Amino acid sequence: MLLEKYNPKKVIIYSRDEMKQWEMAKKFEGDSRVRFFIGDVRDRERVYRALDGVDFVVHAAATKIVPTAEYNPFECVKTNVHGAINLIDACIDKGVKKVVALSTDKASSPINLYGATKLTSDKLFVSGNSYAGGHDTRFAVVRYGNVMGSRGSVIPFFMSIRDKGVLPITDERMTRFMISLEQGVELVWHAFEDMEGGEIYVKKIPSMKVTDLARVLAPEAKQEVVGIRPGEKLHEQMIGAEDAYYTYEYLEHYKILPAINNWDKDANRIKDGKKVSEGFVYASNNNDDWMSDEALLAWIDRHYYEIGKI
């Protein structure tokens, strides 16, 4: 999507996952614009080297599986917090123009370590605009829910075990936000175009009950309630009541402005936004928009052709 829309001089993929890079390199073989750089956000010196001559950065590195973070807390902090600090310092020192960091619904009123580290990361990127001092580097954040089909998410998990005839359901009441990868990419692009620095962009997206998701993916399978996993929420939230004081609504998204430096009153950041009501909460269970069976099946038909007629 990026190569097609913007035709950049180069796109650098910075990741510690050499297998994923090798598979991706095969897909883009012959395209000299796509470069690959093995490295870890924890490695400060390597991050500096990777950012040499870079104008724009999308920060997507994270330890993100909730139970994994609960059982490996030190490792989660090293990647999600220390990694963010390394990146912010490197972007400022290397003269990067704009940085968009990917957040998560779990960063709003967090109850697990992953959410707490991502909230910390969000705060770091927001305050990075002040921390930059006289430098021109600007930072913003995008926040959305479950990316449909992403590694470790519920759809590929259910797809991989649906032939067994039983799908594990943590709680029959559980709901989740649903967003396609393409929508997530477009929100990042919007952030780059709109940002002044310090904004958190929250995409308006539909919700779905996990039981409905399982029913559509495997209509014949039995649903077995297994209980909520460590650190898991019944419903996800992207904007909490405490954020409402600084949140503005737009046609396709919300924008949480920073409380620091009176930036929440900055007309350049607000633009044509309408302030939400006091106590406003944007959660997966109080959402006005719910994904239909037909919409989910249409998405599956586009992305899982071999099972498009389930």
Give yes or no: 20 in active site.
no
In a domain, 15, yes or no: no
Catalytic residue among 94, 98, 106, 203: 106
Contact 79, 45 (CB under 8 A): no
* 30: amino acid identity, one letter: G
d(CA 31, CA 106): 36
| Tokens matching residue 68 | 């994994």
- List the CATH number of the domain containing 115: 3.40.50.720
In a domain, 32, yes or no: no
Q: How confident is the model at residue 307 (pLDDT cuts 50, 70, 90)?
A: very low
| Tokens matching residue 71 | 């059982």
Domain tally for the chain? Answer: 1
Residues in contact with 157: Cβ distance below 8 Å, sequence separation at least 6, in sequence order: none
How many Cα atoms sit within 13 Å of 41 on the Cβ side?
26
122: left (phi over 0), alpha (psi -120 to 50) or beta: alpha
In a domain, 252, yes or no: yes
In a domain, 219, yes or no: yes
pLDDT for 278-305, tens place per residue?
999 999 999 999 999 999 988 888 876 4
Q: Residue 258, SS3? A: coil
In a domain, 65, yes or no: yes
In a domain, 156, yes or no: yes
Contact 256, 103 (CB under 8 A): no
| Tokens matching residue 273 | 């936004």
Report the length, in residues, of the chain.
310
- The least confident of 105-109, 115-119, 147-151, 256-260 is 147-151
| Tokens matching residue 261 | 């430096």
Average pLDDT over residues 161-168: 92
Instruction: Please say if the pLDDT value at position 208 is more than 70.
Output: yes
User: What is the span of the domain harbouring residue 91?
Assistant: 39-307
In a domain, 10, yes or no: no
Say whether pTM exceeds 0.85: yes
Contact 100, 188 (CB under 8 A): yes
In a domain, 182, yes or no: yes
Closest by CA to 307, choosing from 204, 170, 162, is 162
